[in-house]
Amino acid sequence: MAATHLLRSSPFLQNPNPNTTHHTFKPRSTIKCTISSQPNTPISKHRRPADESIRQEAHRRHDTSKNTFSAKYVPFNSDPNSEESYSLDEVVYRSRSGGLLDVQHDIEALKAFDGAYWKSLFDSRIGKTTWPYGSGVWSKKEWVLPEIDSDDIVSAFEGNSNMFWAERFGKQFLGMNDLWVKHCGISHTGSFKDLGMTVLVSQVNRLRKMGKPVYGVGCASTGDTSAALSAYCASAGIPSIVFLPANKISMAQLVQPIANGAFVLSLDTDFDGCMQLVREVTAELPIYLANSLNSLRLEGQKTAAIEILQQFDWEVPDWVIVPGGNLGNIYAFYKGFHMCKELGLVDRIPRLVCAQAANANPLYLYYKSGWKDFSAVKAKTTFASAIQIGDPVSIDRAVYALKNCDGIVEEATEEELMDAMAQADSTGMFICPHTGVALTALHKLRNSGVISPTDRTVVVSTAHGLKFTQSKVDYHSKVIPDMACSLANPPVNVKADFGSVMDVLKSYLESKDSKK
């Protein structure tokens, strides 16, 4: 108890550095603390000067002793004997062979501190306003981008999204008592993309301060990536360039990059066409690529997995279901869970499910073939527009993750995902179509008995439902072609007189009473 008190009281937790002269930490549970000879004596805190910002305060308190944590780019899933690596300060997106890159942390340096230490450190930062630890991403800074100066970080204190118990939905429709929804859409720009973008734009900010020739940041997007990129670039005063497929994203998604001052190119192609163009452009111009081909994004996104464990008091759920399009996120969740296991915070990782729309399902088809025959597909229009991707960049990452956690891939038709969304909304949620895809996958796995009624299951909601109001309006208006919209709840037209209103209300109440 005393050691825990000292850990949580220590200013080391706000600026951890194993070389600090105030504290000596020995590997694995052995903790010596020299804060005070009287542990119960409160440590006095002084409010920062009124003319000093929290960023300036963090800069002033920055420990100048050598940082022992580091990370670098390496070829994804490469031979352990490979010597190919790159500094994170290099502008590089592919390995020499043309393959994906991954951010590799110095695990041995991180292992100098045991799992209990990391849990205490991360937990101590939740809900704080200390820069930059008020962010759910940067509260795990040592595992994300350990060498960046806090003064270079661009953050809107993203993350720390709530995970709520879907009590009625789970019990009524699935017979489950332990169903949870991780609402990553409750973030600065309304989607999980903020988690990765704060890392990427922070690194660009660092590179520009170092004098690197990076004049702007560009991305292809089906909506949410462009919103996140434009917001974080606007915050840092960095130009952002957005490639969007014309007439294929919602107005709520389109207006975000426009409002944040991005240079928006509306292109007569789909996302895959936009992705090809932005890759060609960033290879020729000093524009930094912000899509999830860039593995920095995944370092931020993996913190959502760590948050899930924190929110369960470091107990591991049985299942985590993630919608998948370009497929970086499923790997990011795997990486977050795997790091927690490797560094001793938990003893296992959950099984992952990647849920795809049937109209854009290359991973699902690959999975059903027994991982024997991958082919890109021409993605068809889907209400889950953010995952309308037929040639996913992170296909290799997703397959690696799923194979290493005994994962599953499921799909959802348009009618299934829209019905699931309406069903969830009827229980008090207000979810996006992509979460409808994930809930459909859950329905199918429950019906087949793969997921049991007692399994603790987390569905990752990737965006806020307010970004997709038109799809909800169309569903409840029953105007979607070839769709029954069986759970539609349109308004009832009534004459503006007491008798007509009473008749309608009596009929409604009787119908509800008969269903008890």
> Does the pLDDT value for residue 259 go beyond 70?
yes
Looking at the structure, tell me whether residues 263 and 347 fall in a common domain.
Answer: no
Looking at the structure, tell me whether residues 79 and 122 fall in a common domain.
Answer: no
Looking at the structure, tell me whether residues 182 and 249 fall in a common domain.
Answer: no
Q: What share of the chain is helix, strand, coil (3-state, %, to 5)?
A: 40, 15, 45
Q: What is the rounded CA–CA span in Å between residue 401 and residue 474?
A: 36
- Is residue 158 included in any domain, yes or no? no
Using one digit for the tens of pLDDT, what is the confidence trace for 39-63?
A: 343 444 678 888 889 888 887 777 6
Looking at the structure, tell me whether residues 58 and 15 fall in a common domain.
Answer: yes
Looking at the structure, tell me whether residues 350 and 468 fall in a common domain.
Answer: yes
507: its two tokens: 């009929």
How would you class 94 by CB atoms within 10 Å of its CB: exposed for 0-12, middle for 13-18, buried for 19 or more? middle
DSSP tag of 140:
G
Looking at the structure, tell me whether residues 305 and 386 fall in a common domain.
Answer: yes
Share of the chain above pLDDT 90, in %: 77
> Does the pLDDT value for residue 75 go beyond 90?
yes
Give the residue numbers spanning the domain of 39. Answer: 4-68+113-152
pTM, full prediction: 0.88
Looking at the structure, tell me whether residues 173 and 137 fall in a common domain.
Answer: no
> Does the pLDDT value for residue 294 go beyond 80?
yes
Looking at the structure, tell me whether residues 444 and 455 fall in a common domain.
Answer: yes
Last residue of a domain, one of 269, 297, 325: 297
Looking at the structure, tell me whether residues 428 and 405 fall in a common domain.
Answer: yes
Q: What is the rounded CA–CA span in Å between residue 231 and residue 255?
A: 12
Using one digit for the tens of pLDDT, what is the confidence trace for 328-384?
A: 999 999 999 999 999 999 999 999 999 999 999 999 999 999 999 899 999 999 999
Looking at the structure, tell me whether residues 346 and 359 fall in a common domain.
Answer: yes
- Is residue 341 included in any domain, yes or no? yes
- Residue among 120, 90, 390 nearest 245 (CA): 390
Last residue of a domain, one of 277, 297, 317: 297
Looking at the structure, tell me whether residues 274 and 321 fall in a common domain.
Answer: no
DSSP tag of 298:
H
- Is residue 98 included in any domain, yes or no? yes
Q: What is the tally of structural domains in the chain?
A: 4
Q: Please, are residues 60 and 32 in contact by the beta-carbon 8 Å criterion?
A: no
> Does the pLDDT value for residue 30 go beyond 70?
no
Looking at the structure, tell me whether residues 175 and 213 fall in a common domain.
Answer: no
